[in-house]
Amino acid sequence: MTEKVISLIEEVLDVPRGTITEDTRIEDVEEWGSLEHVAIIGELEEKLGIAVPLEESLEIESVRELLDMCENCG
């Protein structure tokens, strides 16, 4: 599941494969703004069936936190 989530993030952000890892912090990725963040959350639900509550998703600061949330919500 981790690889699918990371691949989806890279697709939404339109960054090269391998750019995003579990240790990536959102603030370190120039392409990852608030609109992209909402798009990622939407794609997680649409393509992977992972529902992350929007309010909780706003507190996410890293890919690892997002993955943890996906495990808890999936």
Rg (the chain; Cα; Å): 11
Strand-pairing partners, residue 25, are 62
Q: What is the pLDDT of residue 70?
A: 78
Q: Write the CB contacts of 16 (distance below 8 Å, at least 6 apart in sequence).
A: 10
The candidate with the shortest Cα–Cα distance to 17, out of 3, 2, 35, is: 3
Q: How confident is the model at residue 19 (pLDDT cuts 50, 70, 90)?
A: very high
How high does pLDDT run on average in the chain? 91
Please write the tens of the pLDDT for every residue from 41-60. Answer: 999 999 999 888 878 888 99
- Give the pLDDT of residue 58: 87
Summarize pLDDT for 21-34 with one digit per residue, the tens: 999 999 999 999 99
pLDDT at 73 over 70: no
Phi/psi of residue 42, each to 5°? -65, -40
